[in-house]
């Protein structure tokens, strides 16, 4: 069975606990951890995301118009 990967938060907690322990024991600090780099999205994915966002905007505007019309009809 594969070992369960620790969450980033759990890893950070362990590092901080280790740092505090080192403070009181007089050990030198541990080497700094490297931040994980994010992979760049391919252009197709970026375009797809932009289309999705535009679609949500249109949908939101349509809902707003519908609500406005509904309120006007009730008067």
Would you say the C-alpha torsion 5, 9, 15, 18 has a positive or negative sign?
A: negative
The domain tally of the chain equals 1
Q: How far apart are CA 59 and CA 47, in angstroms?
A: 18
Q: What percent of the chain has pLDDT over 70?
A: 96
Whether 1 maps to a domain, the answer reads: no
pTM: 0.39
- Print the domain residue range for 17: 8-32+41-74
Whether 51 maps to a domain, the answer reads: yes
Whether 67 maps to a domain, the answer reads: yes
Give the pLDDT confidence of 13-48 residue by residue, as tens digits.
988 999 899 888 888 877 777 777 777 777 888 888
Q: How far apart are CA 18 and CA 31, in angstroms?
A: 12
**What pLDDT does 56 receive?**
93
Whether 70 maps to a domain, the answer reads: yes
pLDDT score of 65 more than 90: yes
Whether 53 maps to a domain, the answer reads: yes
């Amino acid at each position: 069975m594969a070992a369960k990967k620790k969450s980033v938060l759990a890893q950070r907690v362990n590092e901080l606990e280790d740092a505090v322990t080192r403070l009181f024991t007089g050990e030198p600090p541990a080497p700094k951890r490297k931040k994980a780099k994010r992979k760049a999205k391919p252009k197709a994915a970026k375009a797809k995301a932009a289309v999705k966002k535009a679609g949500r905007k249109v949908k939101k505007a349509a809902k707003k118009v519908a609500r406005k019309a509904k309120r006007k009809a009730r008067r």
